Amino acid sequence: MDLVSLERIEAAAKLVGPVVRRTPVVSSRVLSERTGSEVRLKCENLQRTGSFKPRGAYNRIGNLPEADRTRGVVAASAGNHAQGVAWAASSLGIDSTVFMPIGASLPKLAATKAYGATVHQVGHTIDEALTAAMEFAAQTGATLIHPFDHPDIVAGQATVALEILDQFPDVGTVVVPTGGGGLLAGIAVALHHLAPRVRVIGVQAADAAAWPGSLAVGKPVPLDRMATMADGIAVGLPGVVPFAHVTAHSPTIVTVDEDALSRALLLCLERAKLLVEPAGAAAVAALMTCLPADLDLRGPVCAVLSGGNIDPILLTRVVGHGLSAAGRYLALRVTISDRPGSLGTLLSEVGRTGASVLDVVHSRTGAWLEVDEVEVALTLETRGPTHREDVLTALRDADYAVRVQD
Tell me 307's DSSP state. B
Q: In sequence order, which ranges of 149-221 are alpha helices (DSSP H)?
A: 151-157, 159-167, 182-194, 211-217
Q: How many residues does the chain have?
A: 406
Q: Are strands 39-43 and 301-305 parallel, antiparallel or unpaired?
A: parallel
> Which of 90, 84, 85 has its CA nearest to residue 116?
90
| Structural contact between residues 118 and 153, judged by C-beta atoms closer than 8 angstroms | no
H or E element, residue 144: strand 143-144
53 included as an active-site residue:
yes
In sequence order, the 6+-apart residues with CB closer than 8 A to the CB of 166 are none
| Structural contact between residues 307 and 277, judged by C-beta atoms closer than 8 angstroms | yes
List 37, 53, 77, 214, catalytic entry: 53
Question: What's the rounded Cα separation, in Å, for the pair 256 and 228?
Answer: 11
Helix (H, G, I), strand (E, B) or coil at 100: strand
37 included as an active-site residue:
no
In sequence order, the 6+-apart residues with CB closer than 8 A to the CB of 257 are 205, 206, 207, 289
H or E element, residue 360: strand 356-363
List 37, 105, 306, 324, catalytic entry: 306
Other CB atoms within 10 A of residue 110 CB: 11
Catalytic residue ranges: 53, 306
